[in-house]
Structures are given as C-alpha cells and as structure tokens.
Amino acid sequence: MNKYESVIIVNPSVDDDKLKALEKQFTDIINANGNVTKVDEMGKKTLAYEVKGNTEGIYVTFYFEADPTLIAELERNYRITDDVIKFIVIRVEE
C-alpha cells in the first residue's frame, strides 16, 4: 500500500454538521480499501483565485494508506459531491 495525502476545498457555506458528514463519507470510502491515519480540518481560508464563484473555502486534509486502485474511486466521489469545489490527491514518498 502507498501513502497518500488528499486536500479538499469545501464550499464555505457548508455548516459543521454537513462538513462532519462529508469527512465521514470520504473516510469510509478510504477505509473500505485502505487506512486513514489522520484527518486535519484546517478551517476557512481565502482562496488565491475564485473557484466556482467562491472566494473562500474550508480546507480538509486526509492522510491515508491505500492501494492505487482506490484513488480513481475517491476522485470520482469528490467530483460528484456538489460541496467539494476543488481537490487534489498526491502520493507521499517515504
């Protein structure tokens, strides 16, 4: 299994309950074929440029280990979730 880091930017209008639900949704997807080691909620930050009409976003970082096949499914779920306005998944070298 490889180590990964995934940062998502969530719509700033999302309330705390919805944010926790999103974190749980993505954590469950990762845990199905991997292992989440840490979730870091960094809070609301100003974006460098406007993304989907938003000038702010809530940053959440997932640190996890998984098989490479999981990444395509995870990114697909990010794309179809309306509250996720931007995301990136990178492989962390040891």
Residue with tokens 């179809």: 80
DSSP-based three-state secondary structure for 32: helix
Say what the pLDDT of residue 93 is. Answer: 87
Q: Which of 40, 45, 41, 49 is nearest to 12 (CA)?
A: 45
Confidence label for 84 from pLDDT (cuts 50, 70 and 90): very high
Say what the pLDDT of residue 1 is. Answer: 86
pLDDT digits (tens, 9 = 90+) for 10-47: 999 999 999 999 999 999 999 998 999 999 999 999 99
Say what the pLDDT of residue 4 is. Answer: 95
Angle, alpha carbons 15-21-24 (nearest 5°): 140
Look at the chain and count its residues: 94
The CATH number of the domain covering residues in 2-91:
3.30.70.60
Confidence label for 94 from pLDDT (cuts 50, 70 and 90): confident
